[in-house]
Structure 1
Amino acid sequence: MSETGLSDRPETQLDEDDRLRPAFVRDVLAAVEARDDARARELVSPLHPADLADLFELTPRELRGTLTRALGDLVDADVFAELNEHVREEMVDTMNATQVADIAAELDTDDAVAMIEDMEADDQAAVLRALDPDDRAAIEAALSYPEESAGRLMQRELIAVPEHWTVGHTIDYLRENQELTTDFWEIFVVDPAHRPVGTCALSWILRTPRGVPIVDVMKREQTLIPVDMDQEEVALRFQKYALISAAVTDDSERLVGMITVDDIVHVIQEEAGEDITRLSGAGDGDINEPIGLTVRTRLTWLIVNLGTAVIAASVVGLFEGTIARFALLAVLMPIVSGMGGNAGTQTLAVVVRALATNQLTSSNTVRMVFRELRIALANGLSLGLLIGTGVGLVYGNPTLGLVIGAAMVINNLVAGLAGIAVPVLLDRQDVDPAVSSAVFVTMATDVMGFFSFLGLATLAGLGQ
């Protein structure tokens, strides 16, 4: 087979980690820039929608519009459902209301909402007007729920049957009604008020005689998701109870939608990524995020950090005389604050994760505090003994070694206490602990690191 023929095979477009090969991306973009639309379409036609979405994310921003034009109808609703939100917003901004409405009509409700929820009010209204009445009503209803809630996440395309039906009646309904959704794993059984009373897996229906009542086949135990529940809590329920799909209910306990595990996978990935990047004050951390938004997000927290650094510097200023008399203190004090900062970050990461996964609750907070303090004490004593012995031997000053060792113990205890207290207190105030905890923990370890080391050095009379 020729080299050209090999490069066109779908399996050669992806590497061993299922990522698009750089050479393949270059070939596609070269065809697009040469206005060889046929060649570009030939190259990408074997790609899965998720891989085609990756191609757009790998394409320079200025070429995405040209790539969209070249690929034409290959850029369908399935591709838009897989796109990074920032890339999708850029592409939607280049489309008119009718084009956006055509794509939204082909998407599940949750994906359609994700595509248009961040549009400007006038543009959003224009898109909604271009939709047919049923789609418009479904999307408007979803948009009425809070952001990142089950109501925004759910899809309304589901199968629900009354509890008085038989298995045969249900099968006939599924076969004869061409308007029903084609992607589902289980059927919801509802009472006359449209409240879910059970679920029935497709496998059970297929293996049961037609005359059996559906209520005799269904599973009555089910996990119901309130429509206003936060998506992170929804993800925890899916994880805890190993759900594939779950019914979403309104305030009257009526069935209004369902959430499926494929949507939850995206939520888990999104929430985990947010916690990691927000701990550092980097915002969402998405490399496709507009530069202006990224600068504003990072600069905000850098300014806050600047303020905490000034506070720490003012503590150092209190001991200016001691440092002037014994300059070696200036060399050693960053060790204490730096190690305390690292210890605080370790505790903070564990606590934020525990809060996010509901492992840390009001019932075990006190036990968690004492656990982290014991860990901090053990680490502080070990590090203090190590650095204290080293400093005492290197500089021939046992008192200096004792001072830095004691300061290391004190600051590790402060780091452990701050690492758990700050995120817990923020969580109790309904503030995301992943957003701002690191700033306050770092301030605590810097201030106490400098204060304990320089304060003990002053009390010990070093430099006098």
Structure 2
Amino acid sequence: MSDVRPHPAAAADDTQLDEDDRLRPEFVEEVLDRVEAGDAEGARALVEPLHPADVADLFELTPADRRPALAVAVADLLDADVFAEMNDWVREDLIDELEPAQVAEIASELDTDDAVAIIEDMEPEDQREVLRAMEPDERAAIEEALSYPEESAGRLMQRELIAVPEHWTVGDVLDYLRGHDELTTDFWEIYVVDPGHRPIGTCKLSWVLRTPRSICIGDVMTREQTLIPVDMDQEEVALRFQKYALISAAVVDGAGRLVGMITVDDIVHIIQEEASEDALLLSGVDEGDINEPVLDSYKSRVRWLISNLFTALVPASIVYLFGGSIAQMALLAALMPIVAGVGGNAGTQTLAVTVRALATNQLTRSNTARAIGRELRVAFLNGATVALLIGLGVSLVFSLTLGVSDATRLGLVIAAAMMTNVVVAAAVGVLAPLTLERAGADPAVASSIFVTMITDSIGFLAFLGLATASGLVG
């Protein structure tokens, strides 16, 4: 957790930030021009008033080939708070330019969770060099955090917290806080532990400050608390914070001992990351970061496109089967993408709602049937509306060229196909992510491929099949 700083507007003026608190392009160019001209002092004077988050933004907005020179010019402003706010890809590039001792110094100034975020993405050999350059107690804390699974509470938590025994009085707690300068200064709760260092309650700072010194801390603490297992996935941690409106929460190991805490500012980042991740995975993108190297983006995206290429062969095969019908009535080729396209959009809508419901624990085993029924009812109403519009439209538009009878039959065919495809799309939009989730897979990863394949296939099959069966072609 980084230090709380004043709002950037308190330090920066209108020449640096726009009305949305984003760095102005002309300001960024001015800084880079001064760096390129060798005016390091001038560049530093421009950057110095910025909030650490804005300094991090400055590096993210700087082209990769100009970042090293900027880093040299404002080296003394590149403190731990700036690295904590920086984009992962940009930070990794800058870290690669630093000596292990410099990285170790930056990490030692951060809370454990932020230090882990910097070190965990380094190459193993670089990690070992940085850890060797750290103080033994700091190194031990980082190594312990790295031993936990990625994206777990153990990686997310910070070790710096306040824990006191139950038998202490409020006066003992206050004297302890005032008499030990090495204690963390960023906390909202005091954890009360038993002799085995297991948390038995919490006490808000406001209670401590307003309670007489002679009162036992065990008498003012609350015993009800939300404990986070050290191996819990960070997404589940975020859901607990959201559900119980937590500011901070204790993290416990397998034996129930207090090993760290997680604070709400870290959870805000996790919620943003998880929401972005699900949205990107639905599109077949792993990272989706504009600072990601081109080859990494290529590798992550091309796998999805190749998979999509093979699934696209299924609807293509269906179209091929009805090649004779299309040859007799070329109008079918013009209309069938409408059925597939609307069905695909209907499926995507349902898929997005379902994936979100799964991610936020709104959709569970207890309400699965009700959720499926609801989406099918919505799909029936949507399908009926769209089918009516397309059916009437096709009948009217083509009544002059095909005749009233054939145009009416074509309208009924496309309406029936549209209705069928929208309902099927909704069913697949719910069932595909549910099936993947029950199988232990991420429902956002491959659901859209299945939805696209099935809606295209059913759309073509229903439309071309009904057209052939109705006698429009034959």
TM-score of the pair, normalised by structure 1: 0.97
**Secondary structure of the corresponding residue to residue 363 of structure 1:** helix
Residue number in structure 1 paired with 2:473:
463
Aligned counterparts of 1:380 and 1:302: Cα–Cα separation in 2: 29
Paired residue for 1:125, among 123, 128, 131? 128
Q: Please state if 1:449 is matched with 2:455.
A: no
The residue type paired with residue 455 of structure 2 is T
**Secondary structure of the corresponding residue to residue 261 of structure 2:** strand
CA positional deviation for 1:123 = 0.8
The residue type paired with residue 169 of structure 1 is D
Kindly indicate whether the alpha-carbon contact (under 8 Å) linking 2:12 and 2:50 is maintained by their aligned counterparts in 1: no
Kindly indicate whether the alpha-carbon contact (under 8 Å) linking 1:10 and 1:47 is maintained by their aligned counterparts in 2: no
CA positional deviation for 1:9 = 5.4
The residue type paired with residue 214 of structure 2 is G
List aligned pairs for 1:111-150, cutoff 5 A.
Answer: 111-150=114-153
CA positional deviation for 1:24 = 1.0
Residue number in structure 2 paired with 1:76:
79
Deviating more after overlay: 172-181 vs 9-18: 9-18
Residue number in structure 1 paired with 2:410:
400
Per-residue Cα deviation, 1:366-420 (whole angstroms, up to 9, x for no partner)? 1111111111111111111110111111112111111100000100011000000
Aligned counterparts of 1:92 and 1:67: Cα–Cα separation in 2: 14
Would the alpha carbon gap of residues 79 and 9 (structure 1) be closer, same or farther in structure 2, given more than 3 Å must change?
A: closer
Aligned counterparts of 2:49 and 2:408: Cα–Cα separation in 1: 72
**Secondary structure of the corresponding residue to residue 440 of structure 2:** coil
Aligned counterparts of 2:93 and 2:433: Cα–Cα separation in 1: 35
Residue number in structure 2 paired with 1:107:
110
Aligned counterparts of 2:352 and 2:184: Cα–Cα separation in 1: 42
Residue number in structure 2 paired with 1:229:
232
Unaligned 5+ residue runs, structure 2?
1-10, 400-406
Q: Please state if 1:320 is matched with 2:358.
A: no
Residue number in structure 1 paired with 2:64:
61
Aligned counterparts of 2:387 and 2:185: Cα–Cα separation in 1: 64
> How many residues are aligned here?
457
Aligned counterparts of 2:259 and 2:346: Cα–Cα separation in 1: 47
Kindly indicate whether the alpha-carbon contact (under 8 Å) linking 2:177 and 2:183 is maintained by their aligned counterparts in 1: yes
Aligned counterparts of 2:317 and 2:331: Cα–Cα separation in 1: 19
Would the alpha carbon gap of residues 212 and 233 (structure 1) be closer, same or farther in structure 2, given more than 3 Å must change?
A: same
Q: Please state if 1:439 is matched with 2:420.
A: no
CA positional deviation for 1:451 = 0.6
The residue type paired with residue 413 of structure 2 is V
Aligned counterparts of 1:439 and 1:185: Cα–Cα separation in 2: 46
Aligned counterparts of 1:435 and 1:49: Cα–Cα separation in 2: 35
**Secondary structure of the corresponding residue to residue 81 of structure 1:** helix
CA positional deviation for 1:11 = 4.4
Aligned counterparts of 1:294 and 1:9: Cα–Cα separation in 2: 35
The residue type paired with residue 433 of structure 2 is P
CA positional deviation for 1:151 = 0.4
Aligned counterparts of 2:59 and 2:441: Cα–Cα separation in 1: 35
Kindly indicate whether the alpha-carbon contact (under 8 Å) linking 2:318 and 2:457 is maintained by their aligned counterparts in 1: yes
Paired residue for 1:174, among 141, 154, 177? 177
Paired residue for 1:376, among 342, 362, 379? 379
Residue number in structure 1 paired with 2:222:
219
Per-residue Cα deviation, 1:307-351 (whole angstroms, up to 9, x for no partner)? 111111011111111111111110100000000000000001100
List aligned pairs for 1:28-427, cutoff 5 A.
Answer: 28-396=31-399, 397-427=407-437
Aligned counterparts of 1:144 and 1:417: Cα–Cα separation in 2: 42
Aligned counterparts of 1:218 and 1:74: Cα–Cα separation in 2: 42
Kindly indicate whether the alpha-carbon contact (under 8 Å) linking 2:235 and 2:274 is maintained by their aligned counterparts in 1: yes
**Secondary structure of the corresponding residue to residue 196 of structure 2:** coil
CA positional deviation for 1:12 = 3.3
CA RMSD of aligned residues (A): 1.0
Aligned counterparts of 1:28 and 1:12: Cα–Cα separation in 2: 12
CA positional deviation for 1:179 = 1.1
**Secondary structure of the corresponding residue to residue 188 of structure 1:** strand
Kindly indicate whether the alpha-carbon contact (under 8 Å) linking 2:157 and 2:251 is maintained by their aligned counterparts in 1: yes
Identity between Structure 1 and Structure 2 (%): 68
Residue number in structure 1 paired with 2:404:
none
Aligned counterparts of 2:121 and 2:390: Cα–Cα separation in 1: 53
Residue number in structure 2 paired with 1:4:
none
The residue type paired with residue 90 of structure 1 is D
Kindly indicate whether the alpha-carbon contact (under 8 Å) linking 1:351 and 1:360 is maintained by their aligned counterparts in 2: yes
Aligned counterparts of 1:214 and 1:349: Cα–Cα separation in 2: 48
The residue type paired with residue 350 of structure 2 is T
Residue number in structure 2 paired with 1:3:
none
Residue number in structure 1 paired with 2:7:
none
Aligned counterparts of 2:304 and 2:129: Cα–Cα separation in 1: 37
Would the alpha carbon gap of residues 164 and 9 (structure 1) be closer, same or farther in structure 2, given more than 3 Å must change?
A: closer
Residue number in structure 1 paired with 2:403:
none
Aligned counterparts of 1:220 and 1:73: Cα–Cα separation in 2: 46
The residue type paired with residue 114 of structure 2 is D
Aligned counterparts of 2:32 and 2:295: Cα–Cα separation in 1: 26
TM-score of the pair, normalised by structure 2: 0.95
Per-residue Cα deviation, 1:437-462 (whole angstroms, up to 9, x for no partner)? 11111111001000111111111121
Dislocated runs of 4+, deviation >3 Å: 8-12
**Secondary structure of the corresponding residue to residue 345 of structure 1:** helix
CA positional deviation for 1:233 = 0.7
Kindly indicate whether the alpha-carbon contact (under 8 Å) linking 2:383 and 2:422 is maintained by their aligned counterparts in 1: yes
Aligned counterparts of 1:223 and 1:11: Cα–Cα separation in 2: 44
